[in-house]
């Protein structure tokens, strides 16, 4: 009881002096806010990219690539191979039609808004079944393209990022003009960073008649994966790799991990700097209060209550710094859409920074760790200082 009262009294006193020592208190707050802001921003970026890519995959859908390929860009499948998949077991059907679609994945150069030069924008040539396989895809403006024409629809991520993708505009791809007729959303997944067109028109424009990059399949049930997989694997002279869509996109999200580790490294380096700032602040806070601490100890306050209250002071400053840093990251970046090269496809994926509770929690943990280590030594020193020596230092 008395111990609690001691700690409270000394802590309140320390906090009152923070305002008087605002200069050095600001150093610790700003130092911690800086490293937390960097950490939260970079983690929010990784989080956003990760959730965009990870949300793309569904485990009752399958993507089939050429054996040995890790991305759609490096994969090629023939139209006769698509026919084999059409007749495979385990595949969902509607009115007797298998939910299987060959898709040609190519790259076009377009100018990004506010950027010099051009960037890689993925163009996906699809069959009508593609829309049945992906019911989350929704035309939010305009209409869908008509089969056999040079019409395209544009994902809203691509629409936001690139120039000239407004409805009615013509874009020049491979000596042909294509007309934008609609904009689609797709639950925030990677397809929103793509342009979609008719498969056969795309094949002829890119001189890829008779071939596609991948085959998308909707399973009867996620459990029928093995039926399809086993059938394709044992089919004579067929070199195809069957993967659940969720597994495929998980592999593609290594870019997000990279950002995350980069972010953690940078913020740990900054945090080490912040620990020194905190150490410095707390040492000077303690040294200007040596006589006060000595007086309290003479009166009968014990060393551990002095130690605990100095630690509390450091942790409180750290908390303020951490919250400030998270707030800065949130205000500057949350929801901001950017795009990056993601996965093995060397195409641009648009995603939004996501300052989630989890990310903020990690930032606050960093702040408290810095506050703890910054406060520990000075507090320990002050608490075990000889009372007589402390009182002498007038």
Partner 1 sequence: MSNNLIEVDAINKTYERGGETLVVLDDLSLNVPENDFLALMGPSGSGKSTLLNLIGGLDSPTSGSVRIKGDRLEKMSASALSNWRASNVGFIFQFYNLLPVLTANKNVELPLLLTNLSSSKRKEQVATVLNLVGLDDRGGHKPNELSGGQQQRVAIARALVSDPAILVCDEPTGDLDRETATEILELLQILNRDLGKTILMVTHDPVAADAAKRILYLDKGKLTES
Binding site for partner 1 (CB under 8 A): 1-2, 5-6, 9, 13, 16-17, 20, 291-292, 294-303, 386-388, 391, 394
Give the integer Cα–Cα distance in Å for 386 and 382: 9
Of 85, 79, 74, 70, nearest to 107 by C-alpha is 74
Q: Which is nearer to partner 1, 163 or 292 (CB)?
A: 292
Compute the distance between CA of residue 25 and CA of residue 277 in angstroms, rounded to an integer.
10
Q: What tokens appear for 351 in the block? A: 């995603």
To partner 1, the closest distance from the beta carbon of 297 in angstroms equals 7
- Give whichever of 107 and 387 is closer to partner 1, judged by the CB atom: 387
CB of 281 to partner 1, least distance (A): 18
Whether the CB-CB separation of 343 and 349 falls below 8 Å is answered with yes
Q: Please, which residue, 228 or 317, has the CB nearer to partner 1?
A: 317
For partner 1, which is the closer residue by CB, 16 or 207? 16
Compute the least distance from the CB of residue 22 to partner 1, in Å: 13
Provide the token pair at 386: 């000889």
Sign of the Cα pseudo-torsion (301, 305, 306, 312, in order):
negative
Give whichever of 6 and 252 is closer to partner 1, judged by the CB atom: 6
Q: How far is the CB of 287 from partner 1 (least distance, A)?
A: 15
Please say which residue, 4 or 177, places its beta carbon nearer to partner 1.
4
Query: How far apart are CB 292 and partner 1 at their closest, in Å?
Result: 5
Closer CB to partner 1, 233 or 386, in the complex: 386
Least distance from partner 1 to the Cβ atom of residue 323, Å = 25
Integer Cα distance of 103 and 155 in angstroms: 16
**CB of 386 vs partner 1, minimal distance in Å:** 8
- Beta carbon nearer to partner 1, 115 or 291: 291
Q: Taking the complex as a whole, how short is the minimal distance between the CB of residue 388 and partner 1, in angstroms?
A: 5
| CA–CA distance, 336 with 153 (Å, rounded to integer) | 24
For partner 1, the closer CB: 244 or 297: 297
Nearer to partner 1, 288 or 337 (CB): 288
Chain centroid offset of residue 307 CA:
40
CB 317 to partner 1: min, Å: 17
Least distance in angstroms from the C-beta of 185 to partner 1:
58
Count of all residues that appear for the chain in the document: 394
């Amino acid at each position: 009881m008395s111990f609690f009262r001691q700690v409270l009294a000394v802590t309140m006193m320390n906090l009152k002096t923070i305002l008087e020592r605002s200069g050095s208190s600001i150093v610790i707050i700003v130092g911690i806010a800086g490293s937390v802001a960097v950490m939260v921003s970079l983690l929010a970026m990784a989080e956003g990219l990760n959730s965009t890519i990870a949300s793309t995959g569904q485990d009752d859908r399958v993507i089939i690539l050429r054996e040995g390929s890790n991305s759609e860009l490096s994969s090629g499948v023939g139209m006769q191979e698509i026919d084999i998949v059409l007749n495979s077991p385990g595949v969902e059907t509607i009115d007797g039609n298998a939910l299987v679609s060959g898709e040609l994945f190519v790259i076009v150069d377009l100018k990004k808004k506010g950027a010099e030069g051009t960037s890689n924008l993925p163009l996906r040539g699809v069959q009508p079944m593609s829309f049945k396989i992906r019911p989350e895809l929704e035309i939010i403006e305009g209409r869908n393209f008509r089969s056999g024409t040079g019409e395209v629809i544009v994902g809203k991520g691509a629409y936001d990022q690139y120039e000239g993708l407004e409805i009615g505009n013509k874009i020049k791809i491979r000596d042909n003009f294509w007309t934008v007729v609609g904009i689609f959303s797709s639950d925030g997944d990677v397809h929103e960073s793509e342009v979609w067109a008719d498969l056969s028109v795309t094949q002829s424009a890119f001189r890829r008649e008779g071939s596609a990059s991948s085959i998308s399949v909707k399973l009867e049930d996620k459990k029928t994966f093995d039926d399809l997989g086993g059938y394709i694997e044992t089919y004579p002279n067929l070199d195809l790799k069957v993967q659940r869509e969720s597994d495929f996109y998980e592999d593609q999200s290594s870019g997000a991990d990279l950002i995350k580790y980069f972010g953690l490294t940078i913020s740990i380096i900054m945090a080490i700097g912040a620990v020194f700032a905190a150490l410095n602040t707390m040492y000077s806070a303690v040294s200007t209060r040596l006589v006060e601490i000595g007086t309290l100890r003479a009166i009968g306050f014990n060393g551990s209550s002095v130690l605990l209250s100095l630690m509390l002071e450091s942790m409180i400053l750290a908390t303020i710094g951490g919250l400030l840093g998270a707030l800065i990251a949130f205000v500057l970046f949350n929801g901001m859409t950017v795009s990056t090269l993601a996965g093995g496809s060397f195409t641009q994926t648009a995603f939004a920074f996501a300052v989630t509770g989890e990310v903020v929690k990690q930032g606050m943990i960093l702040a408290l760790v810095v506050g703890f280590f910054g406060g520990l030594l000075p507090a320990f020193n002050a608490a075990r200082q000889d009372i007589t020596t402390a009182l002498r230092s007038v």
